[in-house]
Amino acid sequence: MVRVISRRLIQLVVTLIALMTLVFFWLRSLPGGPVDALLGERATPQTRELLTRALGYDQPIWVQYGRFLKNVVTGNFGNSIRTGEPVTDVISRAFPATVELALGAIIIAIGLGIPLGYLAARHRGRLLDNATIIVTLIGISIPIFFLGYLLKDWLTQGVHYFPPSGRISTGLGNTDVTGFFVLDGLLTREFDASADALWHLVLPAFTLATIPLAIIIRITRASVLDVLDEDYIRTADAKGLRSPTIRKRHVLRNALLPVVTTIGLQTGALLAGAVLTEKVYNWGGLGTLITDSISGGRDYPVLQALILLAAVVFIVVNLLVDLSYAVIDPRVRVQ
Amino acid sequence: MPLLDVRDLSVVFDRKGTRPVKAVDGVSFTVEPGQTVGLVGESGCGKSVTSLAIMGLLPRRGNRVTGEVRFSDVDLLKLRPRELRDWRGRDIGMIFQDPLSSLNPVIPLGVQVAEVLERHQGRTRQAALREAKELLDAVGIPDPQRRLKEFPHQLSGGMRQRALIAIALACKPRLLIADEPTTALDVTIQAQILTLLKELVDNSGTALVMITHDLGVVAGLCDTVNVLYAGKVVERAYRHDLFEDPRHPYTHGLLQSVPRLDVDRGARLHQIRGSVSDNIPWSEGCAFAPRCDRVIDDCIGETVPLEPTRRAGALRCTNPVEREVAV
């Protein structure tokens, strides 16, 4: 187990170095750049040159690259071109918001997806199953931003079931401990703030959850049906075990294997969905930061750091998936 | 009173959008307590489906099961699924063809043996595991204490089948149904498993229904044999009678097809021409007629009845093999 993890960590480092290199050169090969973006078209050549030199972009590109690598290794991602703040500050402010949103979405997707998929499989071919198939098809097909605006329109306008945007109501000043508003409220015993943050979280998390939810339902359903056809389920029946025992002990665990893989892949994909969801609900997280950093000033340092962060999250999630595989399936443990 | 009395059992596969198929067609046979009865036939003759129907293990969707399966005078087909679960594993055990896929890959072996004891004999997990260890020992699995914690993929094929036998016999059932228990194993292991089965049923007095396509298995194990063809019993006889004097041309053909050591190396192996799919419906004559060497006009036209013959045997043939013709 330790060997597997250490091997994966080495892979992580190699992947990150390769990715950093690609990102560095890709960003700089794009037409335009931070200087153009910051100064606009009518800037004089003198100002342009001044800024270019100030930002260090007059150096040969491999010098820039070397400096970039050195900084990354020492944990220094530079300052944001747009705001001048250290990149780490900018990101650590936005990171908890997105994690809170993504966690909410994943909890919804797993918490609803596995039971619903399981129920659909048990009612195979009957009304519930058919309804599930149709609803999940819609869930997979509907664009996030469209669903987001739709839910916002139905549930926050006129009838105020949910707040339309933001992470917490203004005036409910909660103490910042971790940056996770729901958690902070619990830690500081400001339960009203916690509840309010949770209330703000419901719609965005559900919006972000739709696609993974639909996919998890489908995979769970298919996987349960596969397992029900397995010989060992027939053996369990031949033993005379009661149906609930068979379901809990024999069906569920085997059926979860493909579902866990799917959860891992979908968690990675959440980041893409978060960009749209955050836009719709005005949720100041990484998604917002990415779009702002591209459109408003080509903020190389912030973008580089964000992409690296996304890669790390993706790789770590996949590592966790592999480890949970080993927990569920003894056949994986041996290798 | 027979322990198991199967009367006129039929199974029709009837799925939406396909033509109904009669997989088992009015099969009747009995098993006395402690007796070993063989169901023999080639792939597709309905022997496995018969065993699954007896156990109530056929999916209810798409299958129509009719007839009676009287087990100690209770018709198992009339029981509700929940009630049948009380019988399975306790009074009737079953072992299957492929021991690897028949064991749950993610559950330790010990639990898979223990759970049947917990279910039917009200044991606690601990007590059941202690008993499971003894059971594994009894079926010849070495180092059973360690095996309890192992998973099926860590065992050899033979050991897996031994484990399945331990599971099936855990509650000392009165009947054991073995559906091709040696097909997935290599030859040396086959012999070991058969010897083990024979020992266990002899010592415990458990009756055994042995389902196989292998006449060698029948020769070594069964008291009486039912030969199935296209869903019907075509011949039933004591083992000795069947091997000495096969009456049905199909049985005869099967016996002729067994490779022998006492013929010339170059000699061609006998084979029954055609395949199972070359048959006619039983309602229009003998299903075996298109492949039969002894076919006569009387074979076609109407259903050939199963008629009693020598020593509690039975035969479904209009032109049976005479003793002189048999080799």
Taking contacts as CB-CB distances below 8 angstroms, the residues of chain A near B94 are 238
- Averaged over A72-79, what is the pLDDT? 83
pLDDT band at A334 (very low <50, low <70, confident <90, very high): low
In this structure, are residues B225 and B218 in contact, taking their beta carbons and an 8 Å threshold? yes
* Distance from the B220 Cα atom to the nearest Cα atom in chain A, whole angstroms: 26
Tokens encoding B283: 């309602």
Element (H, E) at A248: none
* Distance from the A224 Cα atom to the nearest Cα atom in chain B, whole angstroms: 14
The separation between the first and the last C-alpha atoms of chain B, rounded to the nearest angstrom, is: 37
Cβ distance B101 to A254 less than 8 Å, yes or no, reads: no
**Could you give the strand order of the β-sheet that contains B36-40, starting from the edge strand earlier in sequence?**
B92-95, B175-179, B207-212, B36-40, B224-229, B232-238, B314-315, B307-308
Can you give the pLDDT at residue A159?
A: 72
Amino acid at A91: I
* Distance from the B283 Cα atom to the nearest Cα atom in chain A, whole angstroms: 33
pLDDT band at B144 (very low <50, low <70, confident <90, very high): very high
Amino acid at A82: R
Rounded to whole angstroms, how far apart are CA atoms B41 and B29?
15
Rounded to whole angstroms, how far apart are CA atoms A114 and B84?
30
The residues with which B7 forms a beta bridge, in sequence order, are B68
| A239 vs B98, B116, B153: nearest CB | B116
| A239 vs B105, B107, B119: nearest CB | B119
Among A258, A250, A267, A272, which residue's Cα sits nearest to residue A219?
A: A258
Q: What is the pLDDT of residues B34-80, one digit of tens each?
A: 999 999 988 888 899 999 999 999 987 889 999 999 999 999 999 99
Query: Is residue A253 within 8 angstroms of chain B, CB to CB?
Result: yes
Question: Most B CBs within 10 Å: which of A124, A227, A232, A329, as the mutation test of the B interface?
Answer: A232
Rounded to whole angstroms, how far apart are CA atoms A61 and A52?
13
Query: Is residue B180 within 8 angstroms of chain A, CB to CB?
Result: no
Cβ distance B120 to A240 less than 8 Å, yes or no, reads: yes
Cβ distance A240 to B119 less than 8 Å, yes or no, reads: yes
Rounded to whole angstroms, how far apart are CA atoms A19 and A151?
37
Calculated CA dihedral for residues A140, A141, A145, A147, nearest 10 degrees:
-80
Angle (CA) B88 B93 B99, round 5°: 120
Cβ distance A239 to B115 less than 8 Å, yes or no, reads: yes
pLDDT band at A42 (very low <50, low <70, confident <90, very high): confident
Query: Is residue B103 within 8 angstroms of chain A, CB to CB?
Result: yes
Interface A-B: count of C-beta contacts within 8 A: 80
**The pairing of beta strand B307-308 with beta strand B314-315:** antiparallel
Rounded to whole angstroms, how far apart are CA atoms B216 and B30?
22
Query: Is residue A126 within 8 angstroms of chain B, CB to CB?
Result: no
Q: Worst-scoring range by mean pLDDT, A119-133, A196-210, A292-306?
A: A292-306
Angle (CA) A193 A194 A199, round 5°: 95
Among B216, B223, B175, B172, which residue's Cα sits nearest to residue B194?
A: B216
Query: Is residue A151 within 8 angstroms of chain B, CB to CB?
Result: no
Q: What is the pLDDT of residues B286-319, one digit of tens each?
A: 989 888 888 888 888 888 889 888 777 899 998 8
Residue of A nearest to B118 (CA): A241
- Averaged over A312-321, what is the pLDDT? 85
pLDDT at B169 over 50: yes
Taking residue A203's Cβ as centre, other Cβ atoms within 10 Å add up to 23
Can you give the pLDDT at residue A194?
A: 80
* Distance from the B33 Cα atom to the nearest Cα atom in chain A, whole angstroms: 20
* Furthest C-alpha separation in chain B: 67
Tokens encoding B31: 């098993």
Rounded to whole angstroms, how far apart are CA atoms B276 and B232?
13
| B101 vs A230, A240, A249: nearest CB | A230
pLDDT at B322 over 50: yes
Query: Is residue B314 within 8 angstroms of chain A, CB to CB?
Result: no
Burial of B327 (0-12, 13-18, 19+ CB in 10 A): exposed
Query: Is residue A236 within 8 angstroms of chain B, CB to CB?
Result: yes
Can you give the pLDDT at residue B326?
A: 45
* Distance from the B26 Cα atom to the nearest Cα atom in chain A, whole angstroms: 24
Q: How many CA atoms lie within 13 A of B106 on its CB side?
A: 18
Percent of chain B's residues with pLDDT above 90:
56
Cβ distance B167 to A239 less than 8 Å, yes or no, reads: yes
Residues making up chain A, counted from first to last? 335
**Could you give the strand order of the β-sheet that contains B21-31, starting from the edge strand earlier in sequence?**
B21-31, B4-13, B63-71, B74-75
Element (H, E) at B246: none
Cβ distance B103 to A250 less than 8 Å, yes or no, reads: no
pTM: 0.82
Rg (CA), chain B: 21
Query: Is residue B80 within 8 angstroms of chain A, CB to CB?
Result: no
Can you give the pLDDT at residue B327?
A: 47
Long-range contacts of A1-6 (CB under 8 A, 24+ apart): A1/A326, A4/A322, A4/A323, A4/A326, A5/A319, A5/A323
- Averaged over B218-239, what is the pLDDT? 92
| B151 vs A243, A250, A330: nearest CB | A330
In this structure, are residues A202 and A195 in contact, taking their beta carbons and an 8 Å threshold? no
Q: What is the pLDDT of residues A211-235, one digit of tens each?
A: 999 999 999 999 999 999 999 999 9
Query: Is residue B94 within 8 angstroms of chain A, CB to CB?
Result: yes
Please state, rounded to an integer, the average pLDDT across all residues of chain A.
Answer: 85
Listed by number, the residues of chain B in 26-65 with a beta carbon closer than 8 Å to a beta carbon of chain A are 55, 57
